[in-house]
Amino acid sequence: MTTDTPRATSAPNANIDKVPPIPDTTRSFWRGERIRLRALSKADAVHWLAFDEDSEAIRKLNLGLSLPRSAEQAAEWAARFADFANADEAMIFTIETHDADYVGSLNLGGVDRRHGTFSTGTRLSAAYRGKGYALEAKRIVLRYAFLEMRLQKYNLRCLETNAAVIRHAELLGCRPEGRIRRDVFTEGRFFDVLLFGLTREEFEASRAGHS
């Protein structure tokens, strides 16, 4: 039988006061400092419908607006990907706090097994945006993709005006790889698309720097 009482040492709190930004691998792989990842459930369809009401967030995520979905369409979509069904097409994680409050979702998709490349998509409820929750969840998924799925390159793209994602890419350690001029038409005009990338080696170097 084990207990939670730590063994006494000469410096018992040496590793407690310093909390690393990278998830602590001594506990669940899917647990971060503030969040945990779980499988999408059919019940999460209601959260996806709520997110669909935020047109500006959809525009940034999808590089343009999408047609509205019905409750039936959302339920059908959730049933298709719940519990990591059809994972070869997309692995969809739900992000929640340690108290099981819904934060958002993260999609690991666009996987090219031959070349070892992949991409992600993140939806966060408005109350959790800009506070590092997406970064924390993304680091867990990147670690899984690189170290468990044997993938070797993460690709990210966003509109030139999406300052939040540009900053997110920088914090992940992604490197700018190019600009596709006038590639997306939305809001009545054309926008450039920015390209970022992160290799497994760059990701591991970034992890070492945070340890």
pLDDT score of 14: 46
The predicted model gives 119-132 an average pLDDT of 95
Q: Are 157 and 176 in contact (CB under 8 A)?
A: no
> Would you list the domain boundaries of the chain?
35-210
The dihedral over CA atoms of 174, 180, 183, 186, expressed in degrees to the nearest 10, equals: 50
Q: 17 pLDDT exceeds 60? A: no
User: How many angstroms separate the CA atoms of 28 and 24, rounded?
Assistant: 8
Q: How confident is the model at residue 24 (pLDDT cuts 50, 70, 90)?
A: low
Q: Which region among 37-46, 77-86, 100-109, 201-210 has the lowest average model confidence (pLDDT)? A: 201-210
pLDDT score of 208: 75
Fold of the domain built from segment(s) 35-210: Aminopeptidase (3.40.630)
Q: 179 pLDDT exceeds 70? A: yes
Q: Are 79 and 91 in contact (CB under 8 A)?
A: no
The predicted model gives 128-136 an average pLDDT of 96
Q: Is 173 left (phi over 0), alpha (psi -120 to 50) or beta?
A: left
Q: For the chain, what is the mean pLDDT? A: 89
